[in-house]
Structure 1
Amino acid sequence: MKTPLVAAGALLCALSFAATAEDMPGMKMDGMSMDGMNMESPKAAPTASAEGTIKAIDGERHTVTLAHGPVAALKWPPMTMAFKTAPGQLDSLQVGDKVDFEFSNGNGGASILSIRKQ
């Protein structure tokens, strides 16, 4: 007999809190509007530029492997790594070419934004 009484009391307590709750100014929660709050979009992937030498081109996977110098903007030391490319982006380039390039470095890896032969 106590269990239904305890449950009824808990329900009554919860309903009384809900009835007295008020929306905060500028934050109507029923429509999930958050007026006045600065809801920033996700940060864009950092971009940087570097110089390097093409070590390999994989046309099927759309990647280029570059031995590049330090990238100060990202605090990277010199290294050799693969970058994603867009189809056709490397058409005028070949292994051994020295290049200047700009890239983005996001969660999906580094992607070439622009690349040109020196």
Structure 2
Amino acid sequence: MKKHTNLLSVTLVAGLIASPLLQAQQDEHAGHGMMQASMHAEGHGMDHGDMGMAGEGEGVIKALLPDRKQVVIDHEPVASHNWPKMTMGFAVTDAKLLEGLSVGDKVSFKFTAKGMNGVISAITKQ
């Protein structure tokens, strides 16, 4: 019985230590990469009818998800939105925009964004 109590105590302490660390890591990366892409797929992102602030960017495609109307781009800084260089997911207005593109392609793109929720309306291989 004492072994089970000690194991339970160790497990609880480990959980208490790990929880803030995991939350800090999630907070640090909020708005980046696939987390944003999955938010769009689940309907938690920007409503495509809600026009955000327009912008343009350049970057390299890291993932293509045409069935989910999403692309992940490692983009250069975007001054208009005060975004640093980072990798993030974007929704696209039409999956056809992704036709002919491949992972590793260098692209330029036009988008609208509200906060960190970006929706690409045009994308061109460079």
TM-score (norm 2): 0.56
Alpha-carbon distance in 2 for matches of 1:108, 1:71: 12
Residues 108 and 75 from structure 1, CA distance in 2 versus in 1: closer, same or farther, beyond 3 angstroms? closer
Provide closer, same or farther for how the CA distance between residues 98 and 111 of structure 1 changes in structure 2, counting only shifts above 3 A: same
Instruction: Specify the alignment match of 2:67 in structure 1.
Output: 60
Q: Which residue of 1 aligns with 2:119?
A: 111
Q: Distance in 1 between matches of 2:58 and 2:116?
A: 22
Inter-partner Cα distance in structure 2 for 1:68 and 1:108: 13
Over 3 Å off, 4+ runs: none
1:87 paired with 2:95, answer yes
Report the alpha carbon displacement of residue 109 of structure 1 after superposing the two structures with TM.
Answer: 2.0
Structure 2 residue aligned with 1:46, among 50, 53, 77? 53
Once the two structures are superposed, the pairs formed by residues 25-44 of structure 1 within 5 Å of their partners are: 44=51
Paired residue secondary structure (1:96): coil
The equivalent of 1:73 in structure 2 is 80
User: Structure 1 residues 67 and 108, CA, compared in 2 at 3 Å: closer, same or farther?
Assistant: closer
Provide the aligned length of Structure 1 versus Structure 2: 76
| Unpaired runs of at least 5, structure 2 | 1-49
Percent of aligned pairs with the same residue? 39
Assess if the C-alpha contact under 8 Å between 2:110 and 2:123 holds in 1.
yes
Q: Encode CA deviations 1:52-77: one digit per residue, 9 max, x unaligned.
A: 00000012211000000000001110
Q: Which has the higher helix share?
A: 2
Structure 1 residue aligned with 2:105: 97
1:57 and 1:50 map into 2 onto residues whose CA distance is: 17
**Over aligned residue pairs, what C-alpha RMSD do you find?**
1.8
- Quote the Cα distance in structure 1 between the aligned partners of 2:114 and 2:96: 21
**Whole-Å Cα distance in 2 between the matches of residues 116 and 53 of structure 1?**
11
TM-score between both structures, scaled by the size of structure 1? 0.60
Q: Which amino acid aligns with 1:113?
A: S
Task: Indicate the structure (1 or 2) with the bigger Cα radius of gyration.
Answer: 1
